Structure 1
Amino acid sequence: MCYQGGGEASGRREAGPDSPSRRAFSRLLLAGTGLAALAACTPGSASAPAGTPEPGPSPVTGTGSATPSATATASHPPLPASAAPATARASATPLKADPPSAAAPGPQHSLTDPASPWVVVNKHRPLSPATFVPPDLARPAVRLATSGEAALLNSTTAAAAEKMFAAAAADGVIITLASGYRSFQTQTATYGSYVRTRGRAEADTVSARPGYSEHQTGWSFDIGDGGGACSFQPCFAQQQAAVWAKANAHRFGFVVRYPWMLHEITGYYYEPWHLRFIGVEAAKDMSTRGIATLEQYFGLEAAPGYR
């Protein structure tokens, strides 16, 4: 899913399913190109060749609250320091029997409640209810590269985004909000257009099914840079906005949700533009421990495809 954010295309100023850029990228992907920038977009590949670098340069350098659920919370002892998240493989068993999230500072939250900052949405974990709508959608005071519902986030994420965008601007880096909230209805239309033009199997590689979109929670959004360079393309990893966000987003409670070469765990290709709010404590904890995905952090099974 090297195009869309969290496996979902938005209804804003993005390239359509049949745009030349998407068709070209799809042909490269299906042809099995060996370019390093597309290596992470091969759903069947086990890992990058030894020593393969992640695209892009090295990194440059308000906590939300939700009502915790009594169920599906992380409650295990810390993960041994010897565990290596990059070696986790897709399987039907938990990636980590002892998720390190249990030792994270701050309160624990539900992993199933869509109003929780820790909710995990992937191809094995649909939203419940499927038509969930955040009750507190708000438009953040940030630079927008979109409009309508895509310019909205839940209020907690919006406040954190404002702080992060301001900090980036203070460092001379312009970040734009390219795609935020996406309703169940919008996702239904988007996914349906891919199914009609490409078939269901291919649609599942470029768009989330309705009810499986992280964008619907209001906890995530896609970013762009001030000039719109490399929007929703692998080369975005080399843009200043992506480099800054990768190095600093955790300070504001965000993680890059779909990291390099971990699509066999997350179910989605590398997306340096897709950020997810989980709270400052947890985001910093993931960064400190070197844990890349929410599935690993919360000890959940990998979700490379729909059941």
Structure 2
Amino acid sequence: MCHDCSPGAAVPPAEAPSRRSFTRFLAAGAGLIVLAACTPEAPAAVAPSSASPTSSTGSAPAPAPESTTAAPPTEVAAPAAPSPAPSPSAALPRQFSLTDPASPWLVVNKHRPLVPADYVPADLVPPAVAMTASGEAALLNSTTAAAAEAMFAAAGRDGVAMVLASGYRSYGTQVGTYNNYVAARGQADADTASARPGYSEHQTGWAFDIVDGGGACSFQPCFADQPAAVWAKANGHRFGFVVRYPWMFHPVTGYYYEPWHLRYIGVEAATDMVARGIFTLEEYFGVEAAPGYP
């Protein structure tokens, strides 16, 4: 550690050479060396990766002879704009419309109304399953009905009693359903529990609500713990169904958790969603979240 880094006294210019003057000269030189040791040394510049290494003797190798042919200037391409990431569903071999109400991949939400608003499926049929629904609510489109029959039968073999409580809902019926919610809760709260007319999955025939055979917790949050809900969440994808409004995803779907509301999208897509750990159709099909109406 340096306690005194000042240089020694200068040698008198006119003094004749002597042992004493030589000693003073050495002392002055030693002082300069000490001063250098106390001064931080600037870091050496880092040679670019393309530079040739020096030889073991410390001298740089002789430069390579210049080429007689001038190399063309290197053209730096502008960075390409990032392309939007494809939705996970784009990896599936079969693709369906996201806007056609007759498509199993239809995405209808608060930003995506049905077109036409009063759409009616052409192939409504009553599925051969246990149900409490009656009238139009006992109907589904033919594809969903066949898948529901297979799913309800499989649940029954596992000792789970699954019951269809509400299927198709026409535009006119949805008007009455929505208005009842508004009258009871106010419009802001109604919009979190019931779709406005022309925005309901029930109108497409692709969705339905279930209850448990034991009758407990129907259309309440505690239904999530009932056998029918637990079984449907774990096995529904095997038959093409997903829980459309999952827990804690209302900022995406616009609706609070509905473990009773099942939506058909096909076995391939439903299985792929589960495998990828994706919970909403908005994310899976690459459309924007719809927390509220525009």
Distance in 1 between residues matched to 2:184 and 2:250, nearest whole Å: 24
Distance in 1 between residues matched to 2:233 and 2:86, nearest whole Å: 26
Select between 203-212 and 262-271 the one with higher mean Cα deviation: 203-212
Distance in 2 between residues matched to 1:222 and 1:272, nearest whole Å: 9
Q: 2:88 aligns with which of 67, 75, 100?
A: 100
Cα-to-partner distance string for 1:34-62 (whole Å, 9 max, x where unaligned): xxxxxxxxxxxxxxxxxxxxxxxxxxxxx
Cα-to-partner distance string for 1:205-248 (whole Å, 9 max, x where unaligned): 22110000010000000011112110000000000000000000
One-letter amino acid of the structure 2 residue matched with residue 200 of structure 1: Q
Counterpart position of 2:259: 272
Q: Between Structure 1 and Structure 2, how many residues are aligned?
A: 211
Counterpart position of 1:290: 277
Distance in 2 between residues matched to 1:225 and 1:196, nearest whole Å: 28
- Write out the 4+ residue segments of structure 1 that deviate beyond 6 Å after TM superposition: none
Distance in 2 between residues matched to 1:194 and 1:240, nearest whole Å: 28
Cα-to-partner distance string for 1:117-159 (whole Å, 9 max, x where unaligned): 0000100000000000000000000000111111100000000
Distance in 2 between residues matched to 1:275 and 1:250, nearest whole Å: 10
Distance in 2 between residues matched to 1:142 and 1:232, nearest whole Å: 19
Q: 2:131 aligns with which of 137, 144, 161?
A: 144
Counterpart position of 2:196: 209
Which blocks of at least 5 consecutive residues in structure 1 are unaligned? Answer: 1-95
Using the size of structure 1 for normalisation, the TM-score is: 0.67
- Greater relative CO (CA pairs within 8 A, separation 6+): 1
In structure 2, relative to structure 1, the CA distance for the partners of 1:192 and 1:227 (3 Å cut) is same
Question: Once the 2 structures are TM-superposed, how far is the Cα of residue 197 of structure 1 from its aligned partner?
Answer: 3.7
Distance in 1 between residues matched to 2:224 and 2:186, nearest whole Å: 29
Counterpart position of 2:75: none
One-letter amino acid of the structure 2 residue matched with residue 99 of structure 1: S
Q: CA RMSD in A?
A: 1.1
Do structure 1's residue 254 and structure 2's residue 244 form an aligned pair?
no
One-letter amino acid of the structure 2 residue matched with residue 103 of structure 1: A
Counterpart position of 2:171: 184
Using the size of structure 2 for normalisation, the TM-score is: 0.70
Match of 1:194, SS state, is helix
